[in-house]
Every structure is written in C-alpha cells, then in structure tokens.
Amino acid sequence: MDYEVKLEIFEGPLDLLLHLIHKNEVDIFDIPIATIADQYLEYLELMKVFNINVAGDFLLMASTLVHIKSKMLLPSPNAEDDGEDPRVEIMRPLLEYMQFKEVAEAFSEREILDRDVFARKDLGDYRSQLEDEEVELDVNLFQLMDAFKRVVDERLPGVQLTVELEQWSVKEKAEQITALLRERGATFFDQLFKEDRTVSEFVVTFLAILELVHLGLVKVFQAAADGQIQLIPDFEKNGEHGDG
C-alpha cells in the first residue's frame, strides 16, 4: 500500500542531531561521532518505514556524518595536522541553531500580548482569531518516534520493522482512534497500541496518530522530558473528524 505521511515536517536534521545529543547526554564539543552517526541512520531508516518523506537535507546530513566518522577513524597523514577537528563541520551549525533555540525559549517567556497581558481591543477580533489557530506538535516527531520504538520493543522484542500495510488501512485506524478518544478523552500513547499484534498494525497505528495530529484533531503532550506522551482530542474546533 502506498501511504505517505503528509505531516509537514518542521523538524530538520539539526533537530534530530540535538535530540540525539540530549538523549545520549553527550557534550556538544565532544560528540561521539560514531555513536551519533549510527543512531542518526537508524532514525532515517525508521522514517523510511513510516514512509515519512525524508527530505534531501536529512540525507545530506547523513552523508556528512558518515564522512566525519570515516575522517575520525583515519590517522591524520601528518602529525602536525593542518585541519581542525572534522566535527566542527556539524558543531558550528548546531551551536548557531542552539543560540536561536534559546532565543525562542526566551521569547516564549516574555509577557506576551493576548496570552499573559491584555490591552484594549475590539472583542470581535478575538473571535476571528480562533479560526487561524495553527496545528502544532508539543512533542516533536523524534520524541514520538522514540515512544513508538519503546512500545514496539516492549511488545514485539527483536522484530524487524518493515512496511507491509495491506491489511490495515491508516484511515480506518484513524477512525478507531477518533472514536476511542471521543469516548475516553485524554489517552496515553501506549494505550492506543493495546490491540495491535503485528508490526504492520503498530506502524499503521503510529501513522494514524501522525495523520490525526496533522489534521489538527489531536494534540500531543508530554508532561516531562521522559514522561508519558498523552493524546488529547481536539475535535470541536475542526468540526467533525475529517476522513482524509
């Protein structure tokens, strides 16, 4: 079955690298390149399994990582070594990116108009604002993928993830999840995989979750960095659940 996740991927290769650096609790100035490169490639594989359209940027970074890894393995031809640490090639953009991530964090802590502080305004304006709320992931794609891997490792240890999606349609599954959330309200991520038995079923459930997030019908939250991921239905705003 041909199924491509239409979710707009806001996260890029730099986000994935930072995710791995935090997850492995390593120093950005001394990145264990072999470990990080291997893990990075694993994520790319997983994204391929989900049929997430892996953009060229991800592949470019993959080849950069592999290149650095091989450079690090080779003894430098002259002891004096004219070149710098090959890892600088990724450190530099990472540090620059981190700067702006910090600024973004600082921005969100300011006293924001219409969130923390309010000024005189025509009430009509507020009503119209409701409509252009953007779909958002409070949890990023890589955190969701980690949660997925945890569930699969627990329930189907040692299984190879492959794509074989004939039986289960993502659409059907999305409808099931919608019904479940409608009935129960907020639900833990793991709970949604309860009925799943085969790898295909797990993958379909995951894709269905991504699809629902994309449609803005579900919000995903994680209370703490290592906390459980929760799905919260958000049907009202978008009317009845869409079917495509």
Partner 1 sequence: MGMGKSLKLIIEALLFTSDRPLSAREIQACLPDASPPDINETLKALQTEYETLDRSFLLREVAQGFQLRTKPEYAPYVLKMLKTAPTRLSRPALETLAIIAYKQPILRQEIERLRGVDVGGILRTLLEKDLVRIMGRKNLPGRPLIYGTTQRFLSVFDLKDLGSLPKLKEIKEFGGDERETDSISEEDRPTDLTHEENAAAPGNEARDSVFHTTEN
For partner 1, the binding residues (CB under 8 A) are 8-15, 29, 55, 57, 61, 88, 91-93, 95-97, 99-108, 110-123, 125-127, 129-130, 132-134, 136-137, 140
Q: Among 237, 221, 210, 232, which residue's Cα sits nearest to residue 9?
A: 210
- Residue 93 or 242: the one with the smaller Cβ distance to partner 1 is 93
Q: Least Å distance between CB 220 and partner 1?
A: 12
Q: Least Å distance between CB 143 and partner 1?
A: 12
The stretches of 119-198 forming alpha helices (DSSP H) are 123-129, 141-155, 170-184
C-alpha to C-alpha distance for 130 and 126, rounded to whole angstroms: 7
- Residue 92 or 197: the one with the smaller Cβ distance to partner 1 is 92
C-alpha to C-alpha distance for 150 and 233, rounded to whole angstroms: 23
- Residue 13 or 204: the one with the smaller Cβ distance to partner 1 is 13
- Residue 31 or 204: the one with the smaller Cβ distance to partner 1 is 31
Q: Least Å distance between CB 38 and partner 1?
A: 20
Max CA distance (Å), the chain: 71
Are the C-beta atoms of residues 159 and 198 closer than 8 Å to each other? no
Are the C-beta atoms of residues 28 and 50 closer than 8 Å to each other? no
Q: Least Å distance between CB 121 and partner 1?
A: 5
- Residue 14 or 156: the one with the smaller Cβ distance to partner 1 is 14
Q: Least Å distance between CB 118 and partner 1?
A: 5
User: Which pairing describes strands 187-188 and 229-233: parallel, antiparallel, or unpaired?
Assistant: antiparallel
